[in-house]
Amino acid sequence: MHYVDVLEKYNKFGGRSTRKEYWLFYLTTMAISFGFIFIPKMVGANQETGVLLTSCFILLVLLPWLAVTVRRFHDAGYSAWFLFIPVFSMAILFFDSQRGANKYGANPKGVEAVKQEQPTTAELATRTIKHIQSVFYVAGAINVFFAIFLREGDNFHFSPSPIDILIGSAILFMGWSLGKSYRRVVPKAAAILSVILLVLNILVHILTKDISFSGFIFPIALWIIGRQSREAITVLENSKVEANL
């Protein structure tokens, strides 16, 4: 049973896990959690009892949940560092297993999966670059939208912020540049922009005494994406050089 297998591998952060293993564990955990919430109500217990039972259960499965998430990232060919990138980390959970073995281990789907044609390093690098492009486009578009429209309660009103529009546009441009011949500048640009944003957030915190954790997560996520794109670009260019020899 997948659920018990995941619980037994609570401290195994290496290796790979399929989409089926991850999502069966996730959905079963959610079903049990809802059961702990609603069953006490059905037998006449107070709401606090259900909340307490659910909280205790989530704490018990938190470590195996984190472990299977890391293995799911590995199965798709990505480092656990991508856990810190909200949008992309969710998307990775839906990616199929990387064909054949990768640096994290053998394909968990078994012999039939291993028999499939192994992708070349250039194909893997190209796929990674396309994924990162998508992240840049989504993050840039969201940033531009919220830079133009300020949310107050349930309503949005037009209130453009030139600096935030510039940042969002820069992120969109980096995504577009990944498909061009000068793509090597993107990792450096991402690193520079992440440092600038981090310094600005620190200055805002010092001046206003108001800390925003989301303001720190975004530049760190940008730095991680830039680092990953640098590795993919290096692999892709090296494979092209080898092909021309």
Strand ranges (DSSP E) for the chain?
Answer: 149-152, 155-158
Domain coverage including residue 223: 121-244
Eight-class DSSP state of 32: H
- pLDDT value of position 244: 60
Residue 167 CA to residue 147 CA, distance in Å, equals 9
- pLDDT value of position 70: 92
Other Cβ atoms closer than 10 A to 97: 21
- pLDDT value of position 204: 74
Whether residues 100 and 187 fall in one domain: no
Query: What SS3 state is found at 108?
Result: coil
For residues 100-126, average pLDDT: 70
pLDDT digits over 144-200, tens only? 777 776 655 555 556 667 777 788 888 888 888 887 877 888 888 888 888 888 888
Whether residues 50 and 79 fall in one domain: yes
Residue 108 CA to residue 21 CA, distance in Å, equals 10
Strand partners, 150: 157
Whether residues 144 and 111 fall in one domain: no
- Among 54, 81, 115, which residue terminates a domain? 115
Of the segments 63-77, 88-102, 212-226, which one has the largest average pLDDT value? 63-77
Hey, what are 92's tokens?
């990775």
Helix axes 19-42, 47-76, angle to 10 degrees: 180
| 229, 178 contact by CB (below 8 A) | yes
Residue in the structure block whose two tokens are 């520079």: 192
Q: Alpha helix locations (H) across 84-120?
A: 86-92, 111-115
Whether residues 139 and 228 fall in one domain: yes
Give, in order, the Cα–Cα distances in Å from 137 to each of 55, 132, 219: 37, 9, 16
pLDDT digits over 71-82, tens only? 999 988 888 888
- pLDDT value of position 119: 65
> At 184, phi and psi to the nearest 5?
-65, -20
Whether residues 145 and 177 fall in one domain: yes
- pLDDT value of position 135: 77
Whether residues 109 and 131 fall in one domain: no
Residue in the structure block whose two tokens are 């349930």: 154
Whether residues 150 and 48 fall in one domain: no
- Among 83, 115, 147, which residue terminates a domain? 115
Query: What SS3 state is found at 158?
Result: strand
- Among 76, 99, 115, which residue terminates a domain? 115
Whether residues 233 and 170 fall in one domain: yes
- Of residues 120 and 101, the one with the higher pLDDT is 101
Whether residues 107 and 211 fall in one domain: no
Whether residues 235 and 151 fall in one domain: yes
pLDDT digits over 25-44, tens only? 888 888 888 888 777 777 67
Whether residues 183 and 234 fall in one domain: yes
Please state the domain count of the chain. 2
Whether residues 189 and 166 fall in one domain: yes
Let me know if 48 is exposed, middle or buried by CB neighbors in 10 A (0-12, 13-18, 19+). Answer: exposed
pLDDT at 13 over 80: yes
- pLDDT value of position 63: 92
